Amino acid sequence: MKLAILLLLLCLTLIFAAWAYAQSTESQHADVVTTVSPLPDGLEITMGRTVLRITALNPNVVRFRYAHDGPFRPDESFAVVKDTGFTAPAVKVTDKGPEVVMQTGELSVVVNKSSLAVTIYDAAGRLILMDRSDVPFTFTPEGFQSWKRMPDDEHYYGLGDKAVSEDRRQHGFSMWNTDVPMWEESTDPLYKSIPFFMGVRQGNAYGIFFDNTFRSNFQFGKFNDGFYSFGAPGGELNYYFINGPRPKRVVGTFAALTGRTPLPPLFTLGYQQCRWSYMSEARVREVTSGFRKRSIPADVIYLDIDYQDRNRPFTVNRQTFPTLEQMVKDLGQEGWKTVLITDLHIAAVPGYKPFDEGNKAGYFVKNPDGTNFVGPVWPGPSVFPDFTRSEVRKWWGSLYADFVKMGVRGFWNDMNEPSVFFRADKTMPLDVVSSVEGRKTDQREIHNVFGLENVHATYEGLLALAPDVRPFVLTRAAYAGAQRYAATWTGDNQATWNHMRLSLPTVTGLGVSGYAFVGVDVGGFSGSPTPELLTRWTALGTFLPIDRNHAAKGTRDREPWVDGPEHEAIRKKFIEERYRLLPYIYTSMEETSRTGVPLMRLMVLDYPDDPRMTGREAEGQYMFGNNLLVAPKVKEFVDGYDMLVPEGVWFDYWTGQRVALTNQDNPEMKGKLHLNPKLDEIPVFVRAGSIIPRQPLVQNTSEKPKGPLELRVYPGPKCMDYIYSDDGSSFGYKRGEYYRAQLSCESSGNSVKVAIAAGEGKYIPWWTSYNMVVADAPKAPASVAVGGQPVSNFHYDAKSKSVSVTVPFSQAPNEVVIQY
Ligand code: MIG
């Protein structure tokens, strides 16, 4: 009898479980709309057990949130900033029977009432995005997924530094920050999670930011080419749709939503030298003086983990670095900035100050039973601060006080995925507890933001210690928004040609994803580069946002001079070029800090109307700022390669000559240029219609350049640039202490006019005159006038076909007119 009852109960339980499971997946079949309720900034629509809330943040930004089987989650985001600068439009909601339509002024969002499928149109009625109509989304006990139609000719960019083609189509990805030494092409996931991508179709672009910190996934037709999808095993189905239609507006709007890259200190744009590790003060001094002795410019020297006592963060090994304070000071006098690594793992040993303090205050993440989670990393058994608590962040920031006082100018936060040794999952268990301002949750939600909150703490800590100094923090792990606090690099790449090639899709991918201040280990981290590879990579480094040479333990030396005089001379030439080009690079970064458009970028951002730029053919080239196109040699065994030449006239950056396209009757070569750069060359081209500022050579950025600021003028259409300068390290620029002047040029018939507008801001730049070099001179000028006065001190160079003239600096507008 008892057994029968038990069996009956068991059967009932099974039936109930099956029923519950069926209910949870049923949403896509349900067809009852219970309510449509307008909200001040959008609408809410309830179908069965699913509620979809759609709100407009800006006419081109619409947010979608889904609650299934319960209320919405608390509206928190680690990524989205408060001051987006958006203005919510007055939306218009119209109930049209089978559909409900929300208009933002720029977009129409149409929701099908029987499926909740969403379709988005622009004001002109052009279809932009469409949910899969039969199954727009699925909710199962394992998680949820949103499904979108994938047009044949749509291409996808972003998701951070995924190591595949720039176009992410046909690939699938996971977002789970992972320490992957020796990652390879297509290794996934990597160190960062930036769940944002841009779709581009026929020159029109939109973006989707899936603001979910769980282990999300993105499928761009890896398994199906009719639909793409994204989803996660937890958290909320919550995403922002961003309209372009220009790709730059998508990228800029995403940066506004999650915070733009702040203007970095000038020295960080100089050459940076690193290695794991320079093992002693003597070795550091040998390397730094090696640069000065050979007059190879450089600004930054890094100390990797071995400067520490037993790998314990915030300590110093006094055997090998007995006078670190003096060393930092001396190096400072020689124009060096010292950057120290300070990982987030704290050795779990009583008597070690960071452990004692944090332990006493209960600052470390916990096991479910309330004890500290302890995992082995470099210092041995370690604990991990709970950076999601502001109190903990504040404490962490205070740990930098001694180093800051010493004059250390930057900090490197590595291993912050967080990496934990000797575990299959390479990180802490999922049930380790974090406490987001008191709300207890676990690593399913927090893992991907651990690095973000780590650098949040470091950045704000540095600001608190030195409020008028722009912090420099370098992070390995990130989530969307980490660009507000730290620069990043692509982790442990390898000393191979293919990894040099991967510098392009990884850095441009980060650029699309809000991350503009980025580098790769020049030379490759693991393994030892051949001399040629290191030379080519050094040339490429000149045209990367961060130019940082780094090497793993056990690999050969990597400083520019290690391969004999021929290679040294070439490397030196390119590092020098970096310094000459700093006014352009700094001005471009300043623009990035205001617009969110990255310095190093996909061709499609500048040339969306050229269909070739969304194809894989465009992947070996990129724009560096508004005016330079770089097409490095990134494949070893090739007899040259072809570059796509965008519309208009282009100049060779190195010679100043117009680029002549040859072989144009060969249809294969139409609009292309064949390149086969020698060891000492990297192809760089300038758009006609640009003005490139360059400065006299310095050995580091604390040296004031001597001589005029060069303005290289390449006449052509849309010639409108500007030059920016400030003190390079404080926040004075926010108080008006900067200099900005608009530059423009105009050519008509046989004359060229170049204008320098009145300077803006209170800062007096270092230059007192300009050396203006105007390219594309058909012949020696008949006359040159500066500020309306004819001058005779101009020079015509027949070989480079350029005219140069000295122009005094003035706060007032000035102009130069050349008559041929
Ligand atoms: O487990 O600090 O990616 O740049 O040199 C390796 C030593 C730890 C990994 C970083 C690398 C750094 C290295 N770190």
> Cis peptide before 38, with omega less than 30 degrees from 0?
no
pLDDT digits (tens, 9 = 90+) for 124-170: 999 999 999 999 999 999 999 999 999 999 999 999 999 999 999 99
Looking at the structure, tell me whether residues 38 and 144 fall in a common domain: yes
Q: Do 113 and 178 fall within a single domain?
A: yes
> In this structure, what CATH number is given to the domain that contains residue 612?
2.60.40.1180
Query: Which of 178, 275, 312, 415 to mutate for ligand 1's pocket (most ligand atoms within 8 Å of CB)?
Result: 415
Q: Please indicate whether residue 414, judged by its CB atom, sits closer than 6 Å to ligand 1.
A: yes
316 CA from centroid of ligand 1 (Å): 18
Residues 639, 703: one domain?
no
Regarding the beta carbon of 304 and ligand 1, being less than 6 Å apart is answered yes
Q: How far is CA 525 from CA 181, 543, 550, 583, 653, in A?
A: 9, 19, 6, 29, 30
Q: How many CB atoms lie within 10 A of CB 146?
A: 22
Q: Of 489, 515, 531, which marks where a domain is finished?
A: 489
Q: Report the pLDDT value the prediction gives residue 5, as an integer from 0 to 100.
A: 53
What SS3 class is residue 404? helix
What pLDDT score does 2 carry?
54
Q: How far is the CA of 581 from the centre of ligand 1 (A)?
A: 30
Q: Give the side-chain half-sphere CA count within 13 A for 544.
A: 32
Residue closest to 65 by CA, chosen among 74, 470, 189:
74
- Domain shared by 647 and 767, yes or no: no
Cβ–ligand 1 contact at 167 (below 6 Å)? no
Query: Which atom of ligand 1 lies closest to the CA of 553?
Result: 5
If one counts the domains in the chain, the total is 4
Residue length, the chain?
820
Check residue 222 and give its pLDDT.
Answer: 73
The answer, yes or no, to whether any atom of ligand 1 lies below 6 A from the CB of 180, is no
Is the shortest distance between the CB of 710 and ligand 1 below 6 Å?
no
What is the position in ligand 1's atom list of the atom closest to the CA of 521?
4
Instruction: Find the 406 Cα to ligand 1 centroid distance in Å.
Output: 24
Do 377 and 324 fall into the same domain? yes
Q: Whose CA is nearest to atom 8 of ligand 1?
A: 415
Q: Is residue 374 part of a domain?
A: yes
Residue 437 in domain? yes
Residue with CA at minimum distance from ligand 1 atom 5? 276
CA dist., res. 406 & res. 423, Å (int): 37
Spans of the chain, pLDDT less than 70 = 1-33
Mutation to probe ligand 1, out of 304, 420, 506 (largest number of atoms < 8 A from CB):
304
How many CA within 13 A on the CB side of residue 333?
6
pLDDT for residue 229: 97
Nearest-CA residue for ligand 1 atom 12 is: 276
* Same-domain status, 217 and 162: yes
If we measure between CA atoms, which residue out of 195, 192, 164 comes closest to residue 179? 192
Residues 72, 236 contacting (CB under 8 angstroms): yes
pLDDT at 255: 98
Q: Could you tell me if 719 and 744 are in contact, meaning their C-beta atoms sit under 8 angstroms apart?
A: yes
Amino acid 103 reads: Q
Q: Which of 276, 308, 494, 526 to mutate to test the pocket of ligand 1 (most atoms within 8 A of CB)?
A: 276
Domain boundary among 463, 489, 515: 489
- Domain assignment present for residue 346? The answer is yes
The CATH number linked to 33 is 2.60.40.1760
Q: Same domain for 73 and 194?
A: yes
Angle, nearest 10°, between helix axes 564-580 and 531-542? Answer: 10
Q: Is 491 in the pocket of ligand 1 (CB under 6 A)?
A: yes
Nearest ligand 1 atom to alpha carbon 378: 1
Quick one: how far is CA 346 from the chain centroid? 28
On whether both 326 and 462 belong to a single domain, the answer is: yes
Residue 300 one-letter amino acid: V
Quick one: which of 331, 386, 394, 355 has its CA closest to 700? Answer: 331
Closest CA to 78 of 456, 458, 384, 471: 456
Whether 72 and 171 map to the same domain: the answer is yes
Residues 175, 193: contact at Cβ < 8 Å? yes
Q: What is the DSSP string of 281-331?
A: HHHHHHHHHHHHHTT----EEEE-GGGSGGG-TT---TTT-TTHHHHHHHH
Testing ligand 1's pocket by substitution, the residue of 274, 275, 306, 414 carrying the most ligand atoms inside 8 A of its CB is 414
Torsional class of 435: left (φ above 0), alpha (ψ -120 to 50), beta (otherwise): beta
DSSP 447-499: GGGHHHHHHHHHHHHHHHHSTTS---EEES-EETTGGGT-EEE--S-BSSHHH
What are the residues whose beta carbons fall under 8 Å from the beta carbon of 805, sequence distance 6 or more?
771, 772, 774, 784, 786, 791, 793, 794, 795, 816, 818
Is the CA virtual torsion 333, 335, 341, 342 positive or negative?
positive
- Termini Cα distance of the chain: 111
Tell me if 305 CB under 6 Å of ligand 1. yes
What one-letter code names the amino acid at 326? Q
Tokens of 485: 């606090």
Is the distance from the beta carbon of residue 306 to the nearest atom of ligand 1 less than 6 Å?
Answer: no
CA distances for 814 relative to 420, 568, 570, 764, 786, angstroms: 60, 42, 38, 16, 7
**Which atom of ligand 1 lies at the shortest distance from residue 275's CA?**
5
Q: What is the pTM of this model?
A: 0.95
Q: Is residue 743, in this structure, part of any structural domain at all?
A: yes
Cβ proximity of 733 and 724 under 8 Å:
no
Under DSSP, the state recorded for 573 is: H
Does residue 492's CB lie within 6 angstroms of at least one atom of ligand 1?
yes
Please indicate, yes or no, whether residues 108 and 60 belong to a single structural domain of this protein. yes
Atom of ligand 1 nearest to the CA of 341: 2
Report the distance separating Cα 469 and Cα 465, nearest Å: 9
Last residue of a domain, one of 432, 460, 489: 489
Residues 6+ apart with CB under 8 A from 801: 656, 657, 775, 776, 777, 778
Report pLDDT for 749. Answer: 86
Look up the domain containing 329 and give its range.
300-489
Is 53 a domain residue? yes
Task: Note whether 185 and 36 are same-domain residues.
Answer: yes
Closest atom of ligand 1 to CA, residue 476 = 3
Q: Cα(451) to centroid of ligand 1, in Å?
A: 15
Ligand 1: centre distance to CA 488 (Å) = 13
3-state SS, residue 577 = helix
Nearest CA residue ID for atom 13, ligand 1: 276
φ, ψ of residue 25 to 5 degrees: the values are -100, 0
**Closest to 648 in 3D by CA, of 658, 657, 656:** 658
User: Ligand 1 pocket, 610 CB below 6 A?
Assistant: no
Return the CATH number at 383.
Answer: 3.20.20.80
CA 521 / ligand 1 centre spacing (Å)? 11
Cα-to-chain-centroid distance, residue 104: 30
For residue 144, the CA-to-ligand 1 centroid distance in Å is 35
- Find the 232 Cα to ligand 1 centroid distance in Å: 30
Q: What residue owns the CA closest to ligand 1's atom 11?
A: 492
Counting beta carbons within 10 angstroms of the beta carbon of residue 658, is it exposed (0 to 12), middle (13 to 18) or buried (19 or more)? middle
Separation of CA 539 and ligand 1 centre (Å): 24
d(Cα 425, Cα 428) in Å, to the nearest integer? 8
Answer yes or no: is 542 within a domain: no
If asked whether residues 102 and 182 sit together in one domain, one would say yes
Report the nearest atom of ligand 1 relative to the CA of 414: 10
Nearest-CA neighbor of 301 among 312, 314, 290? 290
Q: What backbone phi and psi angles, to 5 degrees, belong to 96?
A: -115, 40
- Residue tagged 């009956």 (tokens): 8
Exposure string of 156-170, with b = 16+ CB inside 10 Å and e = fewer, is bbbbbbbbbbbbbbe
* pLDDT on residue 30: 47
What distance in angstroms lies between residue 271's CA and the mean position of ligand 1's atoms? 20
Which is it for strands 118-122 and 127-130: parallel, antiparallel or unpaired? antiparallel
Single-letter amino acid code for the residue at 741? A
Ligand 1 pocket mutation pick from 307, 412, 492 by most atoms within 8 angstroms of CB: 492
Which is nearest to 57 in space by CA: 127, 122, 105, 123?
Answer: 105
Angle between helices 390-398 and 450-465 (to 10 degrees): 50
The Cα-based distances of 25 to 33, 45, 143, 610 in angstroms read 17, 19, 10, 43
Question: What is the structure's pLDDT at 709?
Answer: 98
Atom of ligand 1 nearest to the CA of 419: 1
Catalytic residues: 414, 417, 492
Rounded-to-integer distance, Cα 433 and Cα 439, Å: 10
Q: How far is the CA of 191 from the centre of ligand 1 (A)?
A: 12
Nearest CA to ligand 1 atom 1: 415
Chain position carrying tokens 């380790």: 432
Cα of 414 vs centre of ligand 1, distance in Å, is 7
Contacts 24+ apart (CB under 8 A), 793-796: 794/818
Contacts of 602 (CB under 8 A, 6+ apart): 157, 166, 247, 508, 511, 512, 613, 618, 622, 623
| pLDDT at site 4 | 55
Cis ω on the peptide bond leading into residue 778 (within 30° of 0)?
A: no
- 757 within some domain: yes
Amino acid at 447: H
- Asked if residue 271 belongs to a domain, the reply is no
Buried b (16+ CB within 10 A) or exposed e, 84-117: beeeebebebeeeeeebbbbbebbbbbbbbebbb
Instruction: Please report the atom of ligand 1 found closest to the CA of residue 304.
Output: 2
